[in-house]
Structure 1
Amino acid sequence: MSESVYHQIGGREAVEAVVNDFYDRVLSDDRLEVYFEGMDMQELRAHQVQFISAVAGGPVDYSGANMREAHDHLGVTEEHFAVVADYLERALRENGVGDDNVDAIMSEVAALKDPIIGA
């Protein structure tokens, strides 16, 4: 049995480090601040940890709203989706996640583009 991406990257502790780095980047970007006004960031970070853990094959099932429902009211643009995806990829790489695992996680994220932007 092969080890999951989740375990290869260091499990929950590693995912939490990536998520914290990711949100530090996102929340520092003036172009994205409108999407996070009034949001419970502690809850959002917890959902993101759960989401990344799930797509990386961790012992977690993502229980948040489906992506279309969760983002429909935000009017996320294709440009802003790309910026956020880039921040996630950078956070993964800069927290020591290897290329193959970054590619695996980012392919899961890419599959969510249409539901998130409402296409």
Structure 2
Amino acid sequence: MEKTLYDKYGGFSTVSRIVMSLYEKLLEDDDLGPFFDDVDMPKLIDHQTKFVASLMGGPASFTDTHIERAHRNMTIADSHFDRLKTLVDDTLAEFDVDAEDIQTVLGAFEARRTLLVKA
């Protein structure tokens, strides 16, 4: 049986460190940082850790409805989503995630673009 990316890279503890590092970048980013003003960051990071874990084949799961509902009051453009993907790519690379596995995770993010970006 093939290991999930979640298992391959160390499970919850590694995913948690990846998400913490990603959010450090997001909060410092001039374009994306403002999306997190007045947000309960510990709660958000907990949710995002579970979300990224699910994208990597971990135990958590998120429905499209949940994702869309969480972002419905935000004005997210394609440029914001593209920047997010760049930061995800950079962060995963910093954690020595293989290039092919990074593309798998980015593909999972891309599959949800229409849930966040409102044309």
Correspondence 1:15 to 2:15: yes
Contact 2:85 2:109 in 1 (8 A): yes
Instruction: Provide the residue aligned with 1:84 in structure 2.
Output: 84
Q: How far did 1:34 drift?
A: 2.0
- Give deviations 1:44-85, integer Å, cap 9, x for gaps: 111111001111111222379622211121111110111111
Contact 1:47 1:64 in 2 (8 A): no
- Give deviations 1:6-63, integer Å, cap 9, x for gaps: 1111111110111011001010012222211110000111111100111111122237
Correspondence 1:116 to 2:116: yes
Within-5 A mapping of 1:38-77: 38-62=38-62, 66-77=66-77
Q: For 1:35 and 1:9, how far apart are their aligned partners in 2?
A: 29
Q: How far did 1:118 drift?
A: 2.2
Q: For 2:85 and 2:40, how far apart are their aligned partners in 1?
A: 21
Contact 1:72 1:117 in 2 (8 A): no
Contact 2:22 2:91 in 1 (8 A): yes
Instruction: Provide the residue aligned with 2:93 in structure 1.
Output: 93
The one-letter amino acid of 2:52's match is I
Q: Which runs of 4+ in 1 moved over 6 A?
A: none
Gaps of 5+ in 1: none
TM-score, normalised on structure 1? 0.92
TM-score, normalised on structure 2? 0.92
